[in-house]
Amino acid sequence: MTTARLRIRRACKSALAVLALLAATHAQTDQEQLSAARALLRAGNTDEAIARLQQVAQQHPAMAEVNRELGGAYYQKPDYERAIVYLTRAVEDNAQDLESVQRLGLAYYLSGQPARAIPYLERLRAVQPAHGSDDPFVLALCYALTGDHRHALSLVSQLYDLPASSPASRLVFGRILLLRGLDPVAEEQARQVLQQAPCTPLAHFLLAQISLYRSDVTNAISEFRAELEMNPGYALAWTRLGDAYTRVGQLDQAEAALRRGLWLDASNAETYVLLGKLMMKRRQFASVPQVLQRALAIDPNDYTAHNLLGEAYRELGQIALAQRELQIGARLQRQQVAPTRR
């Protein structure tokens, strides 16, 4: 071999060695960036973590690991639309990445796309225990939101270990639907319960709640009374009946119902608040503080109780106490998230 050829060969080997070293160094740098981003995510510095991950993604847009990490970071932010973009790529790269599958399904659900969430949550259901997470429950909600009530009811029955389509499973399903604002479907389930088993406890209560949310107070009163005929020891039904009577101005009946609720359960702050509201309507201001203080002893963050107490103190001429309670009530109300139906 000539001297020139040897030189060329040695130069090629040297160049390949340099390239290999650069590649290894670059890979090490990428891994360091990913590790740093994970540490930032654990510390709650989501935006800084995303910035680091985007730097890696610009250099390696097809890198499966960075898509997974970016998807998780945007999910944590939460920016579900962007999370979906990267999590979709991550799942395409690795169909066995169950964490990305889970996050992708939940991101679709949380961004108001339940139909697109279903395939991913179904994939999880095939490999995860039924009671190991909230994913099957979210899947049931997705089926309900897309109008597939048969599948939704079947899943709820499994989650609560109830016979499929039984009155008990329909009652639980109706309750879940009501909490999510699906009143018409909840009503349908409650009426089917009463057709199957007319004496089932809580079915009339569910119908009463639906009527109350629709401001059909007259029908709510009728349904609460029907519930109490079968289930007179249910304290919350007495409380809600008292609320309904108060709304239509039948204050004597309201007070009787609320006191019956308290005799059965003195630990419910809502009953004391409703009783305080009734006393305010009757202008019994001197009696209000004692009742509402009991409510606040149970739930100090009940802003309605603070506001009513402030109004009562103002009527009693105790201005400093009134201002304090009204300020607390206003602060708590600002902090309060959208109320969940009970």
pLDDT level of residue 341 (50, 70, 90 thresholds): very low
Kindly report the pTM of this predicted structure.
0.79
Ordered domains of the chain (ranges, CATH): 46-128 (1.25.40.10), 272-337 (1.25.40.10)
pLDDT at residue 43 in the model:
76
The model's confidence at residue 2, banded by pLDDT at 50, 70 and 90, is: low
CA angle, 223 then 225 then 230, to 5°: 100
Interacting residues of 66 by C-beta distance below 8 A, sequence separation 6+: 30, 34, 53, 56, 57, 60
Residue-level pLDDT at 21 = 34
CA nearest neighbour of 29 among 73, 63, 3, 1: 63
pLDDT of residue 239: 98
CA torsion 35-36-42-44 (nearest 10°) is -150
What Cα–Cα distance (Å) separates residue 214 from each residue in 31, 146, 175?
56, 23, 16
29 vs 120, residue with greater confidence: 120
End-to-end Cα distance, the chain: 89
pLDDT of 27 above 70: no
Query: Tell me: the pLDDT tens digits for 72-101?
Result: 888 988 899 999 999 999 999 998 999 999
Which pLDDT score, from 0 to 100, does residue 112 have?
95
202, 224 contact by CB (below 8 A): no
Q: Give residue-wise pLDDT tens across range 156-181.
A: 999 999 998 899 999 999 999 999 88
pLDDT class of 338 with cuts at 50, 70, 90: very low
The tokens 């999590």 sit on which residue?
87
Residue type, 124: L
Cβ atoms within 10 A of the Cβ of 217, count? 18
Confidence of residue 9 (pLDDT cuts 50, 70, 90): low
pLDDT attached to residue 16: 41
DSSP 256: H
DSSP for 156-215, written as a single string: HHHHTT--TT-HHHHHHHHHHHHHTT-HHHHHHHHHHHHHH-TT-TTHHHHHHHHHHHTT
